[in-house]
Amino acid sequence: MCGIAGIMTRDGTAPDRERLDRMIASIGHRGPDGEGLHIARGVALAQVRLAIIDLETGDQPIHEPGGAALVANAEIYNYRELREDLPEIKFSSHSDCEPPLHLYRQLGSSYAEHLRGMYAIAIYDAAKDCLLLSRDPFGIKPLYYCEADGFFAFSSEPRAFLAADIVSDELDERRREELLQLQFTCGRETIFPKIRRVLPGETLVVRGGRIVERRQIDMLPRDREDEIHDLSHSEALDRLDRTLEESVRLHQRSDVPYGLFLSGGIDSSAILALMTRLNERPVRAFTVGFSNAAVHDERDHARKVAKRVGAEHLEVEFSEDDFWRFLPQVAAAVDDPTADYAILPTWKLAREAAQELKVVLCGEGGDELFAGYGRYRSQLRPWWQGGRTLRSKGILDGLGLLRTEPKSWRDSLDAAQATATFPHRTRLQIAQATDCADWLPNDLLTKLDRCLMTHGLEGRTPFLDREVAKAAFSLPDEMKIKKGLGKWLLRQWLERVLPEAQPFERKRGFTVPVGEWIRRKGDQLGPLVAAHPAIVEICHPNRVEKVFRSANKRAGKAAWMLLFYALWYNGLSHGKPSDGDVFDSLTQTTMV
């Protein structure tokens, strides 16, 4: 697992080496174990490495006899099977990233259809003078590009383009509206006008510094899977068991120690049950919790589940002091901004786990594939019984904070929903597919990637596997939601393999007490946020102060959103977070 970057000039002249060096330096945290560079004609590829598989011979770039070179931020879980399918190839390493390069030579731009894993891959074929960029179907690994004046550039993180002065830190007002209303931005466009995302499952072909072809791999099946609909209940459980076990087994392939992020929820408990089944040694499980707060602390439940399977359980406290101390660093880490407050405990959990491990398995994707969110249950009800449009209200709606009320912040969501609508898909499946297109990659997985890679830790997501997705997404609605509970079949499976996880208890949801903490210092915090230049530009300062003093739940979420945005903007403007806490960072900005 690594970071990658590169440049292709339009006229074939050598890329600017000083610019490339700045790009590499800006993403150095992603690869503390080494650095590699490939330069040919008007192309330069670079990688910084976090060594996970093939520690001795897995350095990149990787080359093949036909003259192609590869750099990747990837874990290809089926690399052993791919090697067996290529008996005629004499491999030069044991790297999981070498088979994709040979697949490309045989299959061209469709090579990624055979990969099972998470990846952001760049291949330069000197014989054809073309560059390929590929991203995994769920968007687990990030990949961005910029079509600049005279050249094409790509990187694992937007900060590389800013550090190399390829783009300015100007913001797209429409995408800023999305961020403030949704807590993330949607689709191909980012909050930076000239920086684009390679979409999940997409392969771009670039020649002469211009995109000439796009290919797409679907993350979810489009059509009804009759063999799944015809399964009996018992057969569905057995199929789920086989599919999940295989995915966890593949996700454990590593030449370094690995562990698990264990919450009090169903998804991580399911992964724990399978890791226990597949490993002789006790699983190392990390759980975060909050003391002296009104929100539910998951550590007690996680402790009991871990004890039942003999896991080595490590507990991490995220305190109110941590909130004020670390938030500027956390906000600056998420250069493609997501204001999901779960970034806070995830960041600290990763910091602690990285002291002992390089790899952790995580439960992201379970809610989206098995229909765990409450908003999905509303999709099964008509409007007169409480059914609602997904994300029908923005975070700042109706609070009178903004100088100009946003009007188009839902446009990208509506477009994603239209794209997700296929014959035979139910309303529930359309809602799930819409979340998988934007919410999952641009919020949850961005959060996971940045928080973990900041500390040189790799996160793996066994639910986000194409075989698991096929088995879960294609289930009939009644196997997903029943008796007012989502993830029905997954709950039944977990009841069978690990009943101590209490899968049929009502889900409380993972909550961080940010509203409670902000409210305690609202009188001091409100004026600082209200005076911040980025907030003054978009909000009425006097109304901002009122929000920070309010005990209303919606006001608390709005206060968090504005605080995060102000601190994220500081990290963007300064190129790094403030050395101090939240108040130091805000005070320094308002005094400028």
* DSSP conformation letters of 52-72: -S-TTT--SSEE-TTSEEEEE
- For 109-123, 182-196, 210-224, which range has the lowest pLDDT when averaged over its residues? 210-224
What pLDDT is recorded for position 447? 97
6 in a structural domain: yes
73 and 165 belong to one structural domain? yes
Distance CA 586, CA 472 (A): 45
24 and 164 belong to one structural domain? yes
Residue 7: which of 124, 112, 121, 135 has the closest Cα?
A: 124
When pLDDT is averaged across residues 196-217 and rounded to a whole number, the result is 97
86 in a structural domain: yes
481 and 527 belong to one structural domain? no
Strand 144-148 relative to strand 196-197: parallel, antiparallel, unpaired?
Answer: antiparallel
354 and 282 belong to one structural domain? yes
Distance CA 91, CA 95 (A): 9
Mean pLDDT of the chain: 92
380 in a structural domain: yes
When pLDDT is averaged across residues 391-395 and rounded to a whole number, the result is 85
Distance CA 266, CA 556 (A): 28
Nearby residues of 178 by Cβ (< 8 Å), 6 or more positions away: 184, 185, 186, 409, 412
What pLDDT is recorded for position 231? 83
Helix (H, G, I), strand (E, B) or coil at 266: helix
122 in a structural domain: yes
Of all residues in the chain, what percent carry a pLDDT higher than 70?
A: 93
- Max Cα-Cα span within the chain: 71
- Give the angle subtended at the CA of 196 by the CAs of 194 and 201, to the nearest 5°: 170
When pLDDT is averaged across residues 329-352 and rounded to a whole number, the result is 95
Distance CA 397, CA 405 (A): 8
Residue 264 confidence (pLDDT) above 90: no
Residue 46 sits in a domain whose CATH number is: 3.60.20.10
Residue 576 pLDDT class (50, 70, 90 cuts): low
436 and 519 belong to one structural domain? no
111 in a structural domain: yes
What pLDDT is recorded for position 508? 60
Amino acid letter, 217:
I
Strand 312-317 relative to strand 284-289: parallel, antiparallel, unpaired?
Answer: parallel
Distance CA 361, CA 463 (A): 10
What pLDDT is recorded for position 591? 55
Please, is 510 exposed, middle or buried when counting C-beta atoms within 10 Å of its C-beta (0-12, 13-18, 19+)? middle
* HEC assignment per residue over 342-385: CHHHHHHHHHHHCCCCCEEECCCCHHHHHCCCHHHHHHCCCHHH
The whole domain housing 563 covers 514-591
Residue 251 confidence (pLDDT) above 70: yes
Residue 188 confidence (pLDDT) above 90: yes
The two tokens of residue 103 are 């697949």
E-assigned strands of 267-349? 284-289, 312-317
Please, is 535 exposed, middle or buried when counting C-beta atoms within 10 Å of its C-beta (0-12, 13-18, 19+)? buried
336 and 446 belong to one structural domain? yes
- For 341-345, 387-391, 428-432, 584-588, which range has the lowest pLDDT when averaged over its residues? 387-391
Helix (H, G, I), strand (E, B) or coil at 514: helix
Distance CA 147, CA 196 (A): 9
When pLDDT is averaged across residues 25-39 and rounded to a whole number, the result is 88
Q: Is the dihedral of CA 299, 248, 435, 349 positive or negative?
A: positive
508 in a structural domain: no
- Omega into 476 within 30° of 0, i.e. cis? no
Residue 75 pLDDT class (50, 70, 90 cuts): very high
Distance CA 377, CA 390 (A): 11
When pLDDT is averaged across residues 340-360 and rounded to a whole number, the result is 95
Residue 385 confidence (pLDDT) above 50: no
More confident call, 516 vs 57? 516
Residue 60 confidence (pLDDT) above 70: yes
Integer-rounded Cα Rg, in Å, for the chain is: 23
Helices (H) and strands (E) in the chain, counts: 26, 17
What pLDDT is recorded for position 41? 85
When pLDDT is averaged across residues 327-345 and rounded to a whole number, the result is 95
221 in a structural domain: no
Q: How many domains does the chain have?
A: 3
339 and 472 belong to one structural domain? yes
360 and 485 belong to one structural domain? yes
The secondary structure of residue 223, as a DSSP letter, is S
pTM of the predicted structure, to 2 decimals: 0.95
459 and 562 belong to one structural domain? no
383 and 477 belong to one structural domain? yes
Residue where a domain stops, chosen among 473, 501, 529: 501
E-assigned strands of 93-218? 117-125, 130-135, 144-148, 151-155, 196-197, 202-207, 210-216
pLDDT in tens, 81-92: 999 999 999 998
Helices (H), 205-232: 226-229
Amino acid letter, 240:
L
Residue 574 confidence (pLDDT) above 60: no
310 and 388 belong to one structural domain? yes
Distance CA 485, CA 158 (A): 39
The two tokens of residue 235 are 């057969």
More confident call, 432 vs 575? 432
Residue 295 confidence (pLDDT) above 90: no
The two tokens of residue 18 are 């000083």
Residue 51 confidence (pLDDT) above 80: no
123 and 263 belong to one structural domain? no
397 in a structural domain: yes
Residue 55 confidence (pLDDT) above 80: no
